[in-house]
Structure 1
């Protein structure tokens, strides 16, 4: 950059623009900071001494930009941006109203360079977001969104070309889910439903998964807790239409018959079955955990269990 001072001037102007709205609302509070940096990478040195160079860039960059504060007495927010001038950028946004909702979003990406001439590289991007609303103290609803995208070359070890394993590294995935949570007295109940789409450079691996599940928690008196969950997933390969059905059930109990002794019986059962005439996979686990606290404060633990698969 010809004139480094101009960057500092831009940062100062941005800071003024960011903090200015706080003057219009007496309840709102704005805080923040911004940092710029300059990176000079020696391209004439022996780059073969560092075969993997992670997020290596050259030039000016906004190292980080952080803004946080209160929109009102019960709503808080934060925004953080790191390395926003380069391909290794990261971002995080959080807005929370303690009485009503919670919003989160995270994004990060990275670049990995290989070889003495850095002629091979791959890029990775990850993102996830969630929104939860709580219209009443007992009930809340949520939506989750997450995914990733990988593309580029794999590591090359004395192999011609730039990709040791072909072009199979390129892939991406997207998952969207939502659900409800309820809390009533000494009981909690949750339900979720969603879909996951997987897209690979190798079309034979493309798939779509639909899943749902529920979980239940109950406290009976002061010495008994019950936790139960069930999850179902159906995965379908786009190329062949083959389906894979996965069922999983779990039950756990915590019981304290006397003050110092806790019993924890547990049971898990799972089946995986293709839609064709293929073999069915079944697994189950039955176990018992005992915890005893001695008068000296030492905890003695014993575990017993049986696991089967076929």
Structure 2
């Protein structure tokens, strides 16, 4: 039986480091702060917001929520984002997505200040991730996967890594982060021919396809590291991942569960990005 990789353990270790950095910022006169821009009150947005606020509080970071009505106009939304860009007390901006259908997200990606863009919304940060520029902010979930691997001493260098999923939110940026650590990366998806064989060949397997329990024992190699990024509901209404944990865990050397896995680390990565932004902004002149 292998090791269960608990996100709570990773978040706890990150918390101590973040507190030291926030205290150092405060000693220099900078109070790091995150602004969350939310349109409407979708339950999943509110749930993530609560988790983010709690994580900021635990690490000494301020948190401001800008709530706009669900029927807000495009112009009002864009002006709210511009106002946060100009607010020198705000170091990180998180726009909760998806937005209501009448709103266009694309203009926001060009408006948000890349230095304050702590969840990789701006094409500037996307380009940095794909070019290997470490000054960019990766999306929080892919970076949470990397934090989990680091915490458990799993070095992807030289290893065969398979990522199931090709989204710009997880799959593609995660592949770039892994390549930056010298892994040999294969990106698969639900239309990959003989997906099971490709997955079995991986030394590290990351499931981010968004399909409940699609990764069973036949898709995991003996002794593989299996990281589950999926968030789904099973037929009984219980939260589950893309990996059939009970079937895969006996074969794997390391396995992350859902819940209590990667998702537990994402708000810690968000806090880490806010601290980085505060460190950058406090050391540079803004026009």
TM bucket, shorter chain: under 0.3
Q: Which has the higher strand share?
A: 1
Highest RCO, 1 vs 2 (Cα 8 Å, sep ≥ 6): 2
Q: Which has the higher helix share?
A: 2
> Who wins on radius of gyration, i.e. which is larger?
1
TM-score, normalised by the number of residues in structure 1: 0.25
TM-score, normalised by the number of residues in structure 2: 0.26
